[in-house]
Structure 1
Amino acid sequence: MTGVCGLKIKETKVQLRDILSKQKNAPDYKKIQALYLMKTGQVTTVIEVSELLGVHRVTVQKWFKKYRDQGIDGLLTSKKSTGRPSVVSASTLSDLKEKLTSSNSFKSYEDVYKWLQKNHGVDVNYKTIYGLLRYKLNVNLESIDSDRRIV
């Protein structure tokens, strides 16, 4: 019979139900639900599973292959997206933070730009410097200037 899956599921129905109840994100929940549907006999083909869960049949096939190869733990592990790497390295950021706390040498974001370019060879635009100082380091150069004027 075409499409019938010959997947041998090691876990019992009760174990799968327990694992299913512990899932916190939708993709992992669907993966365990696919195994549970197969184990309980509610579905017999990959196409039936894919239609019930609202995913493509190839996705279900990939889940089952991963389960066959790595077991339930391998099925539930997923890669974390690292995102785009920062233009300013962690060491440069720590140097900048140290420079900001040790002295009030920066009067403007342009001063920071020049310092980054001269000392670390980092060429970034104004928005990047502003975001870096304002949101990562919690520094507002205008407040530093206003503090100097008061004193």
Structure 2
Amino acid sequence: MAGVYQLEITESEAELKQLLRQQKTASAKERVQLLYLLKSEQADTVQAAAQLLGRHRATAQEWLRRYREDGLAKMLQTQARSGRPRAIPQWAETALQKRLEAPEGFDGYQAICDWLEAHLGLEMKYKTVHKLVHYRLQASPKVPRPLSVEQSCEQREAYKKT
């Protein structure tokens, strides 16, 4: 009969409920919840369980195929996303971080672009450098304005208070 799944879930309802509480990611929780719905007979078919989870039937069947072939641990594993490599390598990012911590700093983001090209041989766009420094490294390229030698610390503190 079509639509009837042939799956023996070895874990008990209590074990699945406990396992559901232990999961840290949403995708792992959904997968354990699929097993729980089928084991507790809250869903009669895979299609009904998938509908309760808000997933497509084929997705639920793929999860169950992994469970049937490789077990629970393999079903809960997610593949790492490859993604696009970063525009600036990690070694260059650490070198830039050290240079940003130096007291002389930079005059602006364009100065950082020029420094990356001159010292590290990396030609970076202004926008890329800005995103890296401002958002990722949470740093500022600007250096504070120089203080007058004629000013005293007491005068500065008094000015700040008033």
TM-score, normalised relative to structure 2: 0.76
Question: Does 1:86 find its partner at 2:83?
Answer: no
Q: How many residues align?
A: 148
Deviations 1:2-34 (A, max 9, x none): 111001111112211211233344432222222
- Tell me the SS of whatever aligns to 1:106: coil
Equivalent residue for 2:54? Answer: 54
Equivalent residue for 2:66? Answer: 66
Aligned 1:102-117 pairs, distance under 5 A? 102=102, 104=104, 106-117=106-117
Q: Is the 8 A contact 1:117 1:123 kept in 2?
A: yes
Distance 1:116 1:31, change over 3 A: same
> CA offset at residue 72 of structure 1?
1.3
Equivalent residue for 1:9? Answer: 9
- Tell me the SS of whatever aligns to 1:84: coil
Q: Which runs of 5+ in 1 are unaligned?
A: none
Equivalent residue for 1:128? Answer: 128
Deviations 1:33-66 (A, max 9, x none): 2212222334342222223322211011101011
Aligned 1:39-50 pairs, distance under 5 A? 39-50=39-50
Between the aligned partners of 2:96 and 2:109, the Cα distance in structure 1 is 12
Q: Is the 8 A contact 1:5 1:44 kept in 2?
A: no
Higher helix share: 1
Between the aligned partners of 2:13 and 2:100, the Cα distance in structure 1 is 60
Q: Which runs of 5+ in 2 are unaligned?
A: 149-162
Look up the equivalent residue of 1:22 and give its one-letter code. Q
Equivalent residue for 1:27? Answer: 27
Between the aligned partners of 2:47 and 2:63, the Cα distance in structure 1 is 13
Deviations 1:72-125 (A, max 9, x none): 112222234464322111111222233333462632322221121122222222
Question: Does 1:150 find its partner at 2:144?
Answer: no
Between the aligned partners of 1:131 and 1:42, the Cα distance in structure 2 is 49
Look up the equivalent residue of 1:127 and give its one-letter code. K
CA RMSD of aligned residues (A): 2.3
Between the aligned partners of 2:35 and 2:104, the Cα distance in structure 1 is 61
| Larger gyration radius, structure 1 or structure 2 | 2
Distance 1:140 1:7, change over 3 A: same
Between the aligned partners of 1:27 and 1:60, the Cα distance in structure 2 is 12
- Tell me the SS of whatever aligns to 1:141: coil
Between the aligned partners of 2:31 and 2:49, the Cα distance in structure 1 is 10
